[in-house]
Structure formats: C-alpha cells, structure tokens
Amino acid sequence: MGVEYTHFLFPEDRSFVPSADALSRLVEALVDAQFLPPPIEGKKRASSWWLSGRSYDGENWGDTYEYPLKRRSNRVPFLRYPPDPQWFSQFEYHDLRLSWSISSADRDALKLRHPLTPSYTKDDISYAHGDLTLAITQNFQKYGLDEILCTPEIHCSCGESLDLSVPRLLNYCQRLANECTCGKTFDPCAVIGTWVMAAGGWGNERIAIPGAGITKFALICEPGKIIPRIRPSFDRSFLAICSEALGQEVAQCGEIA
Ligand SMILES: [Zn+2]
C-alpha cells in the first residue's frame, strides 16, 4: 500500500478545456485568495512556479518546454502577475502543466491557505505541504489508479480500445483518444468511476464519479506522504473560485498511491 495522497479537481464536463481568459482569471483569483503564492523573482525560495508542456498539432507531438529548467529545450517567457490571457493563448493546442511547489515555511510566511480541508493536524503534519498543479492536455488523460477509482478498461461501444500509444511524458497517465476510429466521439461521462477509499481508513463509503478520472483539465493537489484519516475535500471557497473562473461545475476525488 502506498503512502502518497493526491486530490483532484475536474470539470464535470470532462471535454471542457478552459480558454486563455478563464485560465488567467483562475490563476489570478487563486493568488488573490492566497491559495497560491505570487511569483517571487530574484529570491531563492522554496515556493516557486514551474512550467512544462509539449506542443501538439492535432496529430504529432512537437517540442517540449520547461521553466525554469533549461535542460530540455525552448525556454518560453514566463507568466507575469497578474496573468495576461495572451500568455496562456500561446499554449493553445499544447499540453500545459503549471505547478506551484509550496513549502510549509512559505505557507506560514505568506499566510497561504491550504486548498484541502480539513487542514493538517499534529498527527497529519505532512498535510502542511500542498503542491498544486494545473494540467491541460489535448487528449483525454486517465488520472487515478484503477483500484481506487475503479475505472474499467476504456473501450468504445464498438469494442475498439481508445488507448493512445503516445508517450506519457506530461502527466504519466494513460492517454485516451477524443474519437474512436469508427468515428464515434468518446464521452467520458458515460464511464462511472467509484471513489472507494477503504485504504485510507475512513470506511467503505463509495461515491460514484461520472467521468471517473478521465479529463482534459485537472487541478491536482499533492499534500505529500500521508494517509488522511478523514476524507479530504477542497476548501469550499477554493471550489467556488474554480467553478466561477472556469464557468463550469466541478467535481473532486482523491487517491492513495
Ligand atoms: Zn468505436
């Protein structure tokens, strides 16, 4: 049994991909509400903004880019604050992964709020960490482990597998086609996942999750090595901010890996 907990926010409409305007609104609102640190330039701090992604022209995968690491290729100008929608628009048809690494020391110093509730207790001290990642992909990604989210193998109704054999570079998840070779559009919400967290020790409550962990957009919170004893949930105002900025109803679930 693993010890890393991960909590996901997905749009209820799993085909939804936010516009550059929506992404800009979302990041600005999360910084303003102190769920995210402002970008800090010229100082060595543990809390930092990280960017990685990959271009995609609809058929082929192109360049990778990373920030602030320069090892791969194509360093791109980094996001300023407040965020400019123009900056996000350059990633249309790209995979985008924007991560905020947030140390507990910086959380205290910057008076940042934890996106998950209940927040940490003395026993759950590593809950103090709350790295957040915003991930957008051009194909469907299947987040979460089968044994936690109980998602079946994903096939089209014609029987064809929807698995795309493309590199799992970005989010280390299985990729699924937007459309079957038979021409039928894949509807992830026809797949019902079950959020079972027996391994976490909070009973056998089962929650049905239409769409399971299959999505093109996710906000991912990683509080670190912990098995929560109470089922975690995103803070209500965090959920409200996300829903309003995206203009979408949102769903949440978690896994222990
Ligand atoms: Zn098919």
Phi, psi (rounded to 5 degrees) for 236: -60, -40
Distance from Cα 213 to the centre of ligand 1, integer Å: 21
Distance from Cα 163 to the centre of ligand 1, integer Å: 12
Distance from Cα 215 to the centre of ligand 1, integer Å: 19
Distance from Cα 161 to the centre of ligand 1, integer Å: 8
Distance from Cα 164 to the centre of ligand 1, integer Å: 14
How does strand 4-11 pair with strand 250-256?
antiparallel
Report residues near ion ligand 1: CB below 5 Å. 156, 158, 160, 180, 182, 184
pLDDT 10s digits, 18-71: 999 999 999 999 999 999 887 655 444 445 666 676 666 556 666 666 655 443
Q: Is the peptide bond before 232 cis (omega within 30 degrees of 0)?
A: no
Q: What is the pLDDT of residue 247?
A: 97
Distance from Cα 154 to the centre of ligand 1, integer Å: 11
Give whole-number Cα distances, 32 to 11, 66, 112, 208, in Å.
Answer: 22, 25, 10, 33
Distance from Cα 195 to the centre of ligand 1, integer Å: 27
Q: Tell me the sheet residues that pair with 256.
A: 5
Distance from Cα 174 to the centre of ligand 1, integer Å: 18
CA-closest candidate to residue 11, choices 21, 230, 173, 19 = 19
Q: What is the pLDDT along the chain (257 residues), one digit of tens a residue?
A: 567 788 999 999 999 999 999 999 999 999 999 998 876 554 444 456 666 766 665 566 666 666 554 434 444 555 677 788 988 888 787 888 888 877 777 777 888 888 888 655 545 544 556 788 999 988 898 887 666 666 777 889 899 988 886 655 555 677 888 999 999 999 998 888 888 765 555 556 778 889 988 999 999 998 877 777 777 889 999 999 999 999 999 999 888 77
The total number of residues shown for the chain amounts to 257
